[in-house]
Amino acid sequence: MAISGTAGRMPWWARTAIGVVVLALLFLLLGKANLLPGIPNPFAEKDKDRSGPVLLKSIQDMSRFEGASGNFEVVVDLEKDAKFLPSAVRGKRTLYVGAGSVDAYVDLGSVGNDAVKVSADRKSATIRLPHAALERTSLDTKHSYVVSQQRGFFDRIGDFFGNNPGNAQQLNELAAQKIQDAAKQTELGARAETNTKFMLEHLLTSLGFDHVDVTFGPPSKTAPTPTPSGSTSPSTTASPTSS
């Protein structure tokens, strides 16, 4: 005679708990893989901004004339490989478009008193300014984006369960550095000096100056003319008197 019992069966509450966990994992995986386009993901993340107020740390006076600005775009091709492993297993290659701008300026605050000379009749002025310099690259994150990304198996698993902010930071730094290096090879500095000179000439002309000469660079060091050895300074010779 067969005797049925519940000694080998799982309790109903345990089966229910396991079913809920499996269902939750199923929704999570399907939502993560975007396989349920018509059904809202019940486990979707929501952003809540709990930031505090912005604190003003300091105010710095500026004495620069922004003479020119250049807009740049660069494609960063960053590849990471693992030793002794094929790229299909472990590795990542990212194509990233970085957009940013670099400003060229002339520092008017470093101009000394000897760099400005005005004629006695106040009709002519000579101004010597330092050469233009470049600001640091300002990366435009709104117009910078990832074009494509190839990932190995383990990299896909890692990106599936978490973000990789270090990779994004490295891409931004590489793009900014490449833009900064490219800006040094352009005419940004020369354009900034031309616009600064144009601005000062028109400003001083409106103040009554007839001639304004603006130059850039350090002051020229003129060495004193050496005196030939054995030469004497000229002297006045008295003419002989007649008796």
**What pLDDT is attached to residue 98?**
95
Spatial distance between the Cα atoms of 233 and 237, rounded to a whole number of angstroms: 12
Answer yes or no: are the C-beta atoms of 144 and 175 closer than 8 Å.
Answer: yes
List, in order, residues 6 or more apart from 152 with CB less than 8 Å away: 82, 85, 86, 87, 88, 89, 90, 91, 92
Query: Which comes out higher in pLDDT, residue 117 or 62?
Result: 117
pLDDT of residue 105: 96
Span 148-177, average pLDDT: 67
φ, ψ for residue 5, nearest 5 deg: -155, 175
Q: Summarize the confidence of residues 48-71 as an average pLDDT.
A: 88
pLDDT band at 5 (very low <50, low <70, confident <90, very high): low
Compare 2 and 70 and report the one with higher pLDDT.
Answer: 70
pLDDT of 42:
57
> What is the average pLDDT score of the chain?
76
Cα gap 231→60, rounded to integer Å: 58
Residue 59 has pLDDT above 90, yes or no: no
Domain range summary for the chain, segments of one domain joined by +? 63-216
Q: Label residue 186 exposed, middle or buried (CB < 10 Å: 0-12, 13-18, 19+).
A: middle
Instruction: Determine the length of the chain.
Output: 243
For the ranges 7-11, 53-57, 153-157, 170-174, the lowest mean pLDDT is seen at 153-157
Identify the helix (H) or strand (E) that includes residue 74: strand 64-81
Average pLDDT over residues 140-167: 65
Does residue 120 have a pLDDT over 80? yes
CB 104 within 8 A of CB 137: no
Answer whether residue 124 shows pLDDT above 80.
yes
Q: What is the mean pLDDT of the segment spanning 90-106?
A: 86
Average pLDDT over residues 164-179: 83
Q: What is the average pLDDT across 164-178?
A: 82
